Amino acid sequence: MPGGQRPRRAGEMSLQFTDEQFQEAWKELDEPQLEGWEFFTETMGVKIYRRYDKETGLYEYKVFGVLASCSPELCADVYMDLAYRKKWDSYVKELHEKDYDGQTAIYWEVKYPFPLSNRDYVYVRERRDLEMDGRKIWVVLAESSPVSQCPEKGGVLRVKDYKQSLAIESDKASGTKMFMNYFDNPGGMIPTWLVNWAAKSGVPGFLGDMQKACKNYPEYCRK
């Protein structure tokens, strides 16, 4: 592919995403593709757009903005570190990487507030560190994966339709310019207002937690 692709690290997913998917993600940093999308909200210098999905009745989201005081390489390392995620993300009930059916995948159980049931995910992801015309860009793609050897738990709803892409680069200062595309069908009987509230408050909350996590990551690694 154009630019440099670093070798896959031990423990990362087998490659299953296409070069075109990575290109589509990082190009949004230059030219956001927003035809058919509506502006949803802006907070913390981050703009969120959404697009209605008729099949599910839910929204898909695109996020554009800057994470201040966090380099893109550090941000990518924090984003990929599952063990560290369990330290700073209070919504994580269980999170680990495992081989299923000969494929390495991630199992992730997310805490939901009472009386809602927790959700869990089985998904694959891939990170590429790219060099494009002198620019360094980090891209991470993830999507749900049907894995027969990971049975569903009683009382926990399996999320079978999930995808996320993240593209980041330096903002030419001390921060990170970012693009994120996200869709998640949590299933079950969750009121639409609650899903919308979670999207409006959850993304800024997550980005704020990410900034704190980046700040504390060097100390975590030293320990």
Lowest mean pLDDT, pick from 119-128, 138-147, 198-207: 198-207
Distance CA 59, CA 56 (A): 8
Respond yes or no on whether the N-terminal peptide bond of residue 115 is cis (omega within 30° of 0): yes
The pLDDT assigned to 93 comes to 96
Query: Which CATH code fits 19-222?
Result: 3.30.530.20
The per-residue pLDDT for 10 is 33
Is the pLDDT higher at 191 or at 46? Answer: 46
Q: What is the pLDDT of residue 5?
A: 34
Instruction: State the average pLDDT over residues 159-168.
Output: 95
- pLDDT tens per residue, range 72-131: 999 999 999 999 999 999 999 999 998 877 788 999 999 988 888 999 999 999 999 999
Weakest mean pLDDT among 143-157, 171-185, 208-222: 143-157
Q: Which residue has the tokens 């800024």?
A: 204
Q: Please report which confidence band the pLDDT of residue 9 belongs to, taking 50, 70 and 90 as the band edges.
A: very low
The 3-state DSSP class for residue 63 equals strand
Q: Which two tokens stand for residue 34?
A: 């927003």
pLDDT of residue 48: 93
Euclidean distance between CA atoms 134 and 3, whole angstroms: 9
Q: CB of 85 within 8 A of CB of 92?
A: yes
| Residue 55 confidence class, pLDDT cut points 50, 70, 90 | confident
**Can you give the pTM of this predicted structure?**
0.88
Task: Name the nearest CA neighbour of 64 among 81, 89, 85, 39.
Answer: 39
Q: Structure tokens of 167?
A: 């593209």
pLDDT at 11 over 90: no
Alpha-helix runs per DSSP H in 67-133: 72-80, 82-88
The pairing of strands 156-159 and 162-170 is: unpaired
pLDDT at 197: 77
Listed by start position, the domains of the chain span 19-222
What is the pLDDT, as a whole number, of residue 8?
37
